[in-house]
C-alpha cells in the first residue's frame, strides 16, 4: 500500500505508480479485465495547453470582431 504523508505533497515515482496499479489490477476478475480493456481501446490524445490557449484566443478575437461588425 502507498504510504500517506501528511507533512508535504507526495509525488510517486513511475515504479511506485506501476506497482500500485499492479496491486489493484491483481484483484480484478477476468471479466472485469476484459471490460476495462474495452474502455481503453482508443489511444490517449496528448494536448499542448499553449496551442489550445492560442487557438481559443484566436477564436474569441474572431467572434468578437464579428459581433462588433454586426452592432456597428
Which domain does 56 fall in, by range? 14-71
pLDDT of residue 16: 93
pTM of this structure:
0.40
pLDDT of residue 9: 72
Higher-pLDDT residue of 13 and 4 is 13
Domain count, the chain: 1
Tell me whether residue 5 is in a domain: no
Tell me whether residue 30 is in a domain: yes
Residue range 20-54, pLDDT digits in tens = 999 999 999 999 988 888 765 566 667 788 888 88
Query: Is the CB of residue 2 less than 8 Å from the CB of residue 16?
Result: yes
- Separation CA 54–CA 58 (nearest Å): 6
15 pLDDT band (50/70/90 cuts)?
A: very high
pLDDT of residue 41: 54
Amino acid at each position: 500500500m502507498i504510504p500517506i504523508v501528511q507533512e508535504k505533497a507526495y509525488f510517486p515515482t513511475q515504479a511506485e505508480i506501476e506497482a500500485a496499479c499492479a496491486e489493484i489490477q491483481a484483484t480484478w476478475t477476468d471479466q472485469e479485465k476484459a471490460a476495462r480493456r474495452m474502455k481503453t481501446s482508443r489511444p490517449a490524445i496528448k494536448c499542448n495547453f499553449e496551442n489550445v490557449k492560442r487557438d481559443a484566443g484566436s477564436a474569441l478575437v474572431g467572434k468578437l470582431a464579428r459581433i462588433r461588425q454586426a452592432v456597428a
